[in-house]
Structure 1
Amino acid sequence: MSPDPNLKSLEEQTIVITGASSGIGLTTARTAADRGARVVLAARSEDALREATEEIRDDGGEAEYVVADVGDRDDVREIADTAAETYGGFDTWVNGAGISIYGKLTEVPVEDMREQFETNVWGVVYGSLEAAEHLKGKDGGGAIINIGSIVSDRAIILQGSYSASKQAVKGFTDSLRMELERADEPVSVTLVKPSAIDTPFAEHAKNYMETEASLPAPVYAPETVARTILDAAADPQREVTVGGGGKNMVAMGRTLSSAMDTLMETVFVDQQRKAEPPTESDGLEDPTGDLEERGGYEGHVAESSLYTRLRQRRVSPVVVAGLAATALYAGYRMIRGR
């Protein structure tokens, strides 16, 4: 990046995190506070935010919260204003709020897709623009970290509108990065692309299937994403995939597109459905407020990702590619076997 942002160490930073009441956002906020960062938590559920903030303060950390719907630009401005009033500004802004919809595209109401895009896409747009405006004038610059997904690169069946929203996030993030680089602004812009993560993601999604929603294997712990985000907050990075399993899926989708389509159609449909009726929970329109990092995934959850650790340590891409290729067949067999 040119010029290189002079990112501070985490213990010197103030970090804004949206979607901080559960899942990846909550895990990242807690981890950042444990590492000495000041954190500003934003989400729609005031009860969950208040509890999380008090928990961090009781443990000796510094935290503030803002009740905000990131699909409302005025709410997003309020997040930035609160960070400025409380801590004099911020050094990293993490756009982590997001929601999914399970179901066939032909059966999901367009109104729900539009509501989903308000959070997943416009929330990222509003947050990124607010952060860019603040960081451009900041000594040393700072970091904008947007949470995409492996479906930013490879759409998944039964989550079509979610896939579309995350591909929009990638397009916006890449364009913003180029604009800031061309203007010589010392702001790093990172896209983090998690694989399936054991959070309340499926439980919070709007579900138009006849069964309860689930996650396709392999599934990783939310801490793997939190570590990735915080690494990018202190060390400028362009794009990071969390989880070798997700990276393999993307690679297969690029090199064997038709075969990946067939695999999706024959295997991933069942992988995203449980053998039980759906619950009535719906985080699309109403805040969940459960303050849970983990979800209800019943299979194996990987607590770390060797692939992601190697990439962030700048190991040769040839070495990483070799490891990914070695794991590709094993991942394919695991998926087929479920």
Structure 2
Amino acid sequence: MQLKSIGQQVVAIVGASSGIGRDTAVKFAERGAKVVVAARSEPGLQSLVAEIRNLGGEATYVIADVSDFQQVKAIADKTVAEYGRLDTWVHTAATGVIAPFEKITPEEFARVVDVTLMGQVYGAMAALPHLKQEGRGALIHISSMEGRRSLPLQSPYSTAKHGLEGFLDALRVELQHEKWPIAVTSILPATINTPYYNKVRTKLGVKPTGVPPYYQPSLVSDAILYAAEHPTRDFVVGDAGKILDLVQRVSPALADSLLLAIAFQGQRTNEPKSADAPNNVFEPIAGYDKVEGDFRNLSIPSFLDNLDKNPPLKWGALAVAALGIATALGIFGKNEI
């Protein structure tokens, strides 16, 4: 499957007013792509388009709530009307309620699923006809490591991300069966330093935080741009996410014990915050139209992501590791004899 170079692409980015989406939009534009950005926050979109144009890029915006299919469809339609086609669809929009399950209302749970899962489903529904019209392209959906391993206190978000992984698995095989050269990628970030934890609703009594360590949004946007040119099934961003994924695969009970030890206190700061504080669950809120959140001091580098962008190096490293393990086992076996 051959995807266009980024400089030749028309890209729609949903959930672009802040965080990963905002950083991704700027990077696509810097490399010559034409971009259409969408979110609920018009001030955030206006400032983003102005930033891109000041850099010499081409961009326009669409205001949309992703829980409404017609509004999502309008993003894809606007992209084609403005630039003649759609090559890559990037979907980052999400919201959350951080609280014990018993304190979450049915309306709150449903809203998180509507935005974080159904919004992504609507995105694929809206984008696919245009990608098929073009004859190739990429669907890039921002999932989460919570799509592989749920976290306590984040049951609606974890539910939505698990559902997204199931949806993408089914869609990917259907497109392969129909022989469409359309890449379907799931990006699964670990804890990322975006304004997400400023904007979501919390019932912990304090401002929430992700379980450290944090990684900077640029790691995720770099993975997205890589997937836009290189068909990629999934991409776990952040070494801690890769470790958690391995633990979950080897022993879910061990992952349970690990999270029991660190995830409850690890998602709490010491900053008081009430349940009725402004949040973005049902409406956008002002003041957070930026890329980074408040946890840069907890951010660390990630070393293994570069292996995922270099498959020969990745498989070579794995082969060396396997050979080393086999050699060690052989030595131990001889010693036992």
TM-score by length of 2: 0.91
The match for 1:61 is: 57
Three-state SS of the structure 2 residue aligned to 1:227 is helix
Q: Please point out which of 268, 274, 278 is paired with 1:281.
A: 278
Are 2:309 and 1:309 equivalent residues in the alignment? no
Q: For the pair shown, which has the larger CA radius of gyration, 1 or 2?
A: 2
Q: Deviations over 1:113-143 (max 9, x none)?
A: 101111111110010111111111213x000
- Corresponding residue to 1:126 among 97, 115, 122: 122
Q: Where in structure 2 are there 5+ consecutive unaligned residues?
A: 322-337
Amino acid of the structure 1 residue aligned with 2:145: I
Assess if the C-alpha contact under 8 Å between 2:85 and 2:134 holds in 1.
no
Name the structure 1 match of 2:19.
23
Q: CA deviation at 1:298?
A: 5.7
Among 164, 167, 183, the residue aligned to 2:159:
164
In 1: Cα distance, 2:201 partner to 2:6 partner: 35
DSSP-derived class of the 1:64 partner:
strand
Q: Take 2:253 and 2:80, find their aligned partners in 1: how far apart are those partners?
A: 50
Query: 2: distance between equivalents of 1:321 and 1:293?
Result: 38
Using the TM superposition, give the Cα deviation of residue 33 of structure 1 relative to its aligned residue in structure 2, in angstroms: 0.9
Aligned pair partner of 2:168 in 158, 169, 173: 173
Percentage of pairs with the same residue: 35
Contact conserved, 1:18 with 1:41, CA < 8 A, in 2?
A: yes
**Do structure 1's residue 80 and structure 2's residue 76 form an aligned pair?**
yes
* AA at the equivalent of 1:284: V
Q: Secondary structure at the match of 1:263?
A: helix
1:319 equivalent in alignment to 2:317: yes
* CA shift for structure 1 position 99: 1.0
Q: Please tell me the residue identity of whatever aligns with 2:224.
A: I
Alpha-carbon shift at residue 318 of structure 1 (Å): 6.7
CA contact (8 A) 1:203 1:281 kept: no
- Tell me the CA shift for residue 208 of structure 1: 1.3
Contact 1:205 1:284 in 2 (8 A): yes
Partner of 2:290: 292
1:220 is matched with: 215
- The one-letter amino acid of 1:29's match is A
Structure 2 SS opposite 1:52: helix
Q: What is the number of equivalent residue pairs in this alignment?
A: 317
Give the superposition deviation at 1:82.
Answer: 0.8
The secondary structure found in structure 2 opposite 1:216 is coil
- Structure 1 gaps of 5+ residues are 324-338
Counterparts of 1:264-279 in structure 2, within 5 Å, are 264-278=259-273
Deviation at 1:305, TM superposition (A): 2.4
Spell out structure 1 runs of 4+ moving beyond 4 A. 320-323
Within the candidate set 220, 227, 235, 1:240 is matched to 235
How much is the aligned-residue C-alpha RMSD, in angstroms? 1.5
